[in-house]
Structure 1
Amino acid sequence: MRRSDQTSDTPRHGTIRRFLARATWPLAWLAPMLRRPRRLQTAALCYRRGEGATQLLLITSRGTGRWIIPKGWLMRGKNASEAAATEAWEEAGVRPGQRARRPIGSYRYDKTADSGLPVKVETLVFPIEVQALADDFPEAAERDRRWVTPEEAARMVDEPELKRILGGFRAERRA
């Protein structure tokens, strides 16, 4: 085959191009069904009531050192609220007091899987009042903790939906 035959715009080549250009619209309805569903995580919005002000506990992520709230995958034998409390203990040393049974919101983010590929994650956020903080907890050597106001917390995290949840949080509604 000559090189000019490979790139020529014969009727056959034109027909294929036109077909491919038109073929995308019938496939558009199929795309959502081919996407992988979001994975579900649970998160703990750890708070304490100070003198006239609510404070939220942020921790650093292990991989990048970004400021986040404790979160993790659902756990067999625990409901989402219990799993959030377990994550708060493992990642931040939180001894929980009052804990919500229902999430106050959710946020989405892309988590980098072990394979290096992004995984879409939906995270349910449960408020957990901090009764005490332990110095010795499973991930103590891997994370930093910081108490901040809700407004500061909203500025420190990256995820837009989480910013809204943190910035609008008021502990008085939890009593």
Structure 2
Amino acid sequence: MSVAKALTVQNISWLHGFSGLFVRPRRLQIAALCCRPGDNEPEILLVSTRGTGRLILPKGWPEKDKPAYETAVIEAYEEAGVVGEPDSRAMGSFRSFKGLSDGLRIRTKVLVFRIRFKKQLQSFPEIGQRKLFWLPLSEAIEAVDEPALGRFLRKHRSDLV
């Protein structure tokens, strides 16, 4: 290998490693879109984030060795005490950001699974850590703090009726 070729390979390798400091990989999160019948339209469950209090869907990182829809069921239970029947296929996805405890924000792709509400338990792992809101779909679209989630709910409105 020539010296020029070796330097080029090293430069590319160095540049690739350096660029990783600025371009963060997208991570996958799983969300539970919990819905129940309402008076005029379906109601959607929104939960507050623990840090900033933003209104979002219950969501988390995929559970190892479990299908994604089971992760959605787990998140609905842990964050809000919701028990329900999940769809095994995702409704779709949207892009978001996950704030980490050190202040870093990473891009995420959020895969959304609908969960048809059966009951809400009085005791669950994150009780007292979040506020829970059951809102009519049209109000939930306006209340969410992530524009991409609002667009997702608007787009899938007919799937929830």
Which bracket does the TM-score occupy, shorter chain normalised?
0.7 to 0.9
User: Runs of 4+ in structure 1 displaced over 4 angstroms?
Assistant: none
Q: TM-score, normalised by structure 2?
A: 0.80
Please say if 1:55 is aligned against 2:55: no
Please say if 1:119 is aligned against 2:106: yes
The CA deviation at 1:96 is 1.1
Q: TM-score, normalised by structure 1?
A: 0.74
Q: Which blocks of at least 5 consecutive residues in structure 2 are unaligned?
A: 1-15
Q: Give the % identical residues.
A: 43
Instruction: Point out the structure with the larger helix share.
Output: 1
The CA deviation at 1:169 is 3.8
Assess, with a 3 A threshold, how the Cα gap between structure 1 residues 51 and 117 changes in structure 2: closer, same or farther: closer
Assess, with a 3 A threshold, how the Cα gap between structure 1 residues 42 and 157 changes in structure 2: closer, same or farther: same
How far apart, in 1, do the equivalents of 2:122 and 2:89 lie?
28
SS at match of 1:89: helix
Larger-gyration structure (1/2)? 1
* 1:17-166 correspondence runs (5 A): 34=20, 35-97=23-85, 99-166=86-153
How many residue pairs get aligned? The number is: 144
Q: Which blocks of at least 5 consecutive residues in structure 1 are unaligned?
A: 1-29
How far apart, in 1, do the equivalents of 2:50 and 2:100 lie?
14
How far apart, in 1, do the equivalents of 2:40 and 2:139 lie?
16
User: Residues 81 and 101 of structure 1 are in contact (CA less than 8 Å); yes or no, is this contact kept in structure 2?
Assistant: yes
